[in-house]
A and B are shown apart, each in its own frame.
Chain A
Amino acid sequence: GAMRNRAEVDATLQTAKVNPAELLPVVHCLSFGPQAAAGECCLLQLEPGLCAEIEAGCSLVIRGEKDEQAVLCSKDKTYDMKIADTSNMLLFVPGCKTPEQLNADQESCNIIHSQIAGFSNNYWELRRCRPKLKKLRKLLMEDPYEGPDSRKDQASTFSKYTTEDLLSLIQASEEEILHHLQVIDACKIEGYWRILEFDYEMKLLNHVIQLIDSESWSLKKVPLRTCLEELGSLEPTAMIEHILLSYGRKYFDDAGEVYFEMHEDKICRAIAQMLLQNAVKFNLSEFQEVWQQSVPEGMTTGLDQLKGLALVDRSSRPETIFLLKVEDLPEGNQERFNSLFSIREKWTELDITPYIQDLCAEKQTVGALLTKYARSSMQNGVKVYNSRRPIS
């Protein structure tokens, strides 16, 4: 129909017994736009920072397979998405001015015809969450790199993933994905992200350790150039450099030469894993003896190095130790706790912390997690935690 005019608006005001003198001169005549009922518009409630990012021109991405709950990713953060219902009707109106804007306007028009673009009684709510990165390691473990001599690698590229592949499959922001690839010591081989198969990784590490020993280098000053020269005939130079980067800190001397300061803790930990993976559990004191003998000269082993990798059972006689890797445990909070309590009924905070630390959300503490998912009691004067529910 024809658009309302000022006379019609004034007539309505009169009928409604509203005094025009009490109103600002501008009226918005609201009508429904041609696509208003089509339902193609929806609302997304923004967390702090996201609004500024959008205004700066950043894109957002929604990620999720059919069997996953959708998440929204900015450049560096991940958010759970949930529909929130409201009992009210929300209309979205372009070109509608607020009283401040009208007062500031010098324009003399007194009718604005605004078309309602859409309406809804719900909106998407966001909540910052931990990036869902367990799948990343799972994908890369489908086809770990076993070295150039492995015949397996000449096969298809089926289980191999480029950065773009990972971005479309992993429910996390790009920055969180790239950071995690670094954390798990992944490397790019022929454009695909790969994790080294553990035995191959140990083989490479062993080459470096033997060379350090035969050259009598300080563990704090391992020269890249010589490593590549001496070991280049045994393994690809990219792999030698990768193992040095994984187990050492790269730096330059005054002459610009590249050196590595080897990570004592990380090397000891890897050697422990190599020893522990061969049996279900070990006699603790025997293990500690063999372990110390197995690490490079000058390095000192300690159980603190094994947090999140192995668990000591001090209740058994003799005391034992067994492999328990946090990355093998479930990603969801409740599932993680269920899993831990089925492995051991009662945990001290010291023992359980390395296995739940990664569950902490931004600003959440281990203590808060324990309060929520466990029940505490005293055992022999020590505070222990057990499951809140019966474990089948």
Chain B
Amino acid sequence: ATACLARSGSAGGLAEWVLVELQGEVEPRQSGGLAGSLLGDLHYTREGVPVLIVGHHILYGKVVQLEKPFAVLVKQGAEEPGPAGLDTCYTIAALIKTKLLFKTRPKPIITNVPKKV
């Protein structure tokens, strides 16, 4: 059995995406699921430090050039064997050479401090 990894057919060069690495798991905040929901705002300081504000947390990270880049593979729909007898087809949608690594513990953002009565 063979699975072919072909490049995306785009005429220009292969797209370059970025990896964002976070601790923990991704969970939808609303019951409606993940699609369309906001993750957060990504800023960079003038020194180039990435700053991610997610909900009530603020995370500081760093830009890392990957020693071993990644290829992003996207499975193509076909469940039946294709014309060349291939069982599965993936396209290489993009390359990833950079990641934003957020390893520090998120600092909670305190929004409302109730006044003492």
Interface residues of A (CB under 8 A from B): 1, 4, 9, 12-13, 15-18, 22-24, 26-37, 40-48, 50-51, 54-55, 57, 59-66, 72, 86-100, 102, 114, 116-119, 121, 123, 167-168
Contacts and interface: CB of A to CB of B under 8 A. Distances in A.
A229 B45 CA distance: 83
Contact of A61 (B5, B21, B93): B5
Contact of B19 (A9, A47, A91): A91
B51 A123 contact: no
Interface string B1-37: 1111111000001110111111111100000011111
B51 A18 contact: yes
A39 B51 CA distance: 27
Chain A contact surface mostly? mixed
Contacts of B17: 92-96, 117
B79 interface: no
Contacts of B111: 15
Contacts, number: 199
Contacts of B20: 30, 90-91, 93, 96, 116
B18 A63 contact: no
A33 B33 CA distance: 11
Interface of B: 1-7, 13-15, 17-26, 33-46, 48, 50-51, 53, 58, 63, 68-75, 85, 88, 90, 92-100, 103, 109, 111
3 closest A-B pairs by beta carbon, nearest first, are A99-B48, A96-B18, A62-B3
Which residue among B20, B50, B58 has the maximum number of chain A CB atoms within 10 Å of its CB? B20
A162 to B, nearest CB: 12
A128 to B, nearest CB: 13
